[in-house]
Chain A
């Protein structure tokens, strides 16, 4: 059978970076910030984790450094979109473009190589129960985020901020504080996603190695309607697509075709969600 437990396992491994980044994106979305800088923050996380792990010999320090670096990088969006009221889409695109150039540049200056840095002494993350510790963390994060959003005081206020910042402000809740919080959190989660990609799925850094996973995470946010469980399901769909791509490659299909699988699924998902949105217009003033 094509859909067997092996495929599911490899799907679960493939989905971790997308899930972590998409959770960050979903929290931003709920706070009214459209964060499409996930790709860039993730890529920065990839490089920082590899560089830190190589210099310190500790993949754990690599994970920590990736989270901190991506969180610092996310301040571009926080300051630009929240404090200076800039356009979040323009800022996100700029962050993504800058991250590609910055990591390629650092790869050359720090490691003196181009394209890929790969060294046998580079320490990757160990497996716990067959999965990366960050995979376990990502599942826990889904549960925590779901609970926070639906039940916690912080989550209620966050949802209010995202829906009607003026109304929240008149009740003494400062929208900017919440928006800064979720943007920084999305930075941390994207940093972890990058560390998982570079020290978990593989143990190396390649220029532009995120290869659109941050964008897929953005689509997962839309497809999952910015709800943690919805985002998990959407990420699982992309994980399956990626795993199926590998499988098909093993069956002799050309790699270029199978590599495209997650992106084809993304396009299909985007098409379906927009089509659904067209058919069911929101009642005025009501958010489904």
Chain B
């Protein structure tokens, strides 16, 4: 190890930070040293204590023990604004912006240039333009923030911090909502910021961007620091092993399926946000749909699941027309569905694990002359919990007590248990830990290999590439491109997601 640098070279130094919440030790004597001018990645699975640590640093939580030094001075922050005054700035995962206000108003809010007590709007606009030009963060100062795409909103957040003179920027999962191209642009901005002597702390669980974009890595697990790594000297496997505590096989590409008869066929489907979509999924095949969020994927799946009205086209499931069938009719004809929003749509958080697992099955296997025998419900729940490795104290705890990964296992297990010929699955591993991701992927592959058809929507390109036998890319409500697994490298998909794909002749005939 290199000797510790002199204090002034540390932008942020946390020593022995301990934070307890009822029942959990979120941070256990955590030390974190961030050098001035570096991009420092803070990694860890959900619940490892990253967010708590950053909340402590940013004045949102008081530590039970430990000291904070910023630029060599001991500090205690009573609020985020105190942290800001000391030169820190945080871009939260869910942006803290005012949608109805303009970009300039958002940037100068609570630090306004004034003339005669009024907001000097010309100066505010000028300030935004200057900062934008200086840091390559181009955005129209007069645009309403609510009308901007996510990538630009993130720029507004960064501009806001720069306007306040932030010297250390903390970004919480900044790329979760970005296209690969937008993420690359973000990292270019971050590098130029550090080149000027600013410091970036990147909170993330994405290995690829940490390897490409960071200088050093601190890995947390169960509230403790388990590794301090220099990015240039480490590998994805080493970081993943530190995060999970065991060796993990990353980015596995599973064996291809052996497609059989057509199960789902969609012709010229139209809804409010989907136009002329043709696609087909065969038995023993996983078809992946890639695309930046908001390009019609959710609407397409919603229409196929019977949750959104279809305005044009035809959908057949195993030869039966289900274009206008209700969700219940579709399920009866052989469709299962894992929705994107597992908290609001996929499960009922206040209901017990057993009740959640019974949902959907209440019409079929569990129903006994219109009643649900409690013993059958319990047995069903116990069987699924065991089969899919859901960690729950008992099957009688509410679903809201489960972690995100366990809730997702519950949801996927419940839907797979229908043994339906067609499975629609959206974002199966969003916000799920690396260990659970593997389990979920294995389940989906096993389901396919049992001869079922799977239509998979995911924002994670590695997931699509690892699982799908064919990949469709949606852009602005249409299928912009269609690739075989071999053709679907990250660059090709990234271009198509950004709307730059050559027109795909095979998209039209993918129905078979």
Binding site for B on A (CB under 8 A): 147, 151-153, 156-157, 159-160, 163-164, 166-173, 283, 285-288
**B100 & A159 in contact (Cβ 8 Å cutoff):** yes
The answer, among B84, B101, B114, for a CB contact under 8 Å with A159, is B101
Q: 1/0 contact trace for B55-80 toward A, CB 8 Å? A: 00000000000000000000000011
Q: What are 20 A-B pairs at a CB distance below 8 A? A: A153-B114, A153-B118, A153-B119, A156-B112, A157-B109, A159-B98, A160-B98, A163-B101, A167-B96, A167-B97, A167-B98, A168-B109, A170-B81, A170-B92, A170-B96, A173-B109, A283-B147, A285-B99, A286-B146, A287-B146
Task: A170-B92, A286-B147 are known; give 16 further A-B pairs, CB within 8 A.
Answer: A151-B118, A151-B121, A153-B112, A159-B98, A163-B98, A163-B100, A170-B80, A170-B81, A170-B96, A171-B81, A172-B79, A172-B81, A172-B110, A173-B110, A283-B147, A287-B99
A159 CB contacts on chain B under 8 angstroms: 98, 100-101
- A287:B96 contact, CB within 8 angstroms: no
Determine the chain B residues whose CB is within 8 A of the CB of A288 once the complex forms: 100
Is B206 positioned at the interface, with any CB of A under 8 Å from its CB? no
Main secondary structure of the interface of B (DSSP, over half): loop
Chain A residue contacts of B415, Cβ below 8 A: none
Interface presence of B441 (CB below 8 A): no
Contact of A168 among B92, B100, B110, B117 (CB under 8 A): B110
Contacts A166-B96, A170-B96, A172-B79; is A283 near B118 (CB within 8 Å)? no
Q: By the criterion of a CB under 8 Å from any partner CB, how many residues of chain B are at the interface?
A: 24
- Check B275 for interface membership: any CB of A closer than 8 A: no
Tell which of B97, B114, B117, B118 touches A164, judged by Cβ atoms closer than 8 Å: B97
Nearest-neighbour CB distance to chain A for B112, whole angstroms, equals 5
Q: What residues of A have a CB within 8 angstroms of the CB of B96 in the complex?
A: 164, 166-167, 170
Partner of A151, one of B97, B119, B144: B119
Question: Secondary structure at chain A's binding surface: helix, strand, loop or mixed?
Answer: helix
Q: Which residues of B are at the interface with A, using a C-beta cutoff of 8 A?
A: 79-81, 84, 92, 96-101, 105, 109-112, 114, 117-119, 121, 144, 146-147
Closest CB-CB distance, A41 to chain B, in whole Å?
28
- Which partner residue on chain A sits nearest B108 by CB separation? A156
The one of A147, A152, A160 that contacts B101, using a Cβ cutoff of 8 Å? A160
Return chain B residues, CB-CB under 8 Å to A286.
99-100, 144, 146-147
Cβ of A167: which chain B residues have Cβ within 8 Å of it? Answer: 96-98
Nearest CB to that of B95 among chain A residues?
Answer: A167
Q: Hey, which chain B residues are within 8 Å of A285, CB to CB?
A: 99, 146
B60 nearest CB across to chain A (Å)? 8
The residues of B that contact A287 with a CB separation of less than 8 Å are 99-100, 146
Query: Bound state CA distance, A285 and B95, in angstroms?
Result: 11
Distance in angstroms between the alpha carbons of A283 and B84 in the assembled complex: 32
Write out the residue numbers on chain B whose beta carbons fall within 8 Å of the beta carbon of A160. 98, 101, 109-110
- Which residues of chain B have C-beta atoms less than 8 A from A169's C-beta? 80
- The answer to whether A171 and B110 have CB atoms under 8 Å apart is yes
| A-B pairs with lowest CB-CB distance, top 3 | A172-B81, A286-B146, A167-B96
What's the minimum C-beta distance from B56 to chain A, rounded to whole angstroms? 15
Give the CA-CA distance A170 to B146 in the complex, in Å: 19
Give complex CA distance A151, B81 in Å: 24
Q: Is B144 within 8 A of A156, CB to CB?
A: no
The answer to whether A152 and B118 touch across the interface, beta carbons within 8 angstroms, is yes
Distance from B78 Cβ to chain A, minimum over Cβ atoms (Å):
11
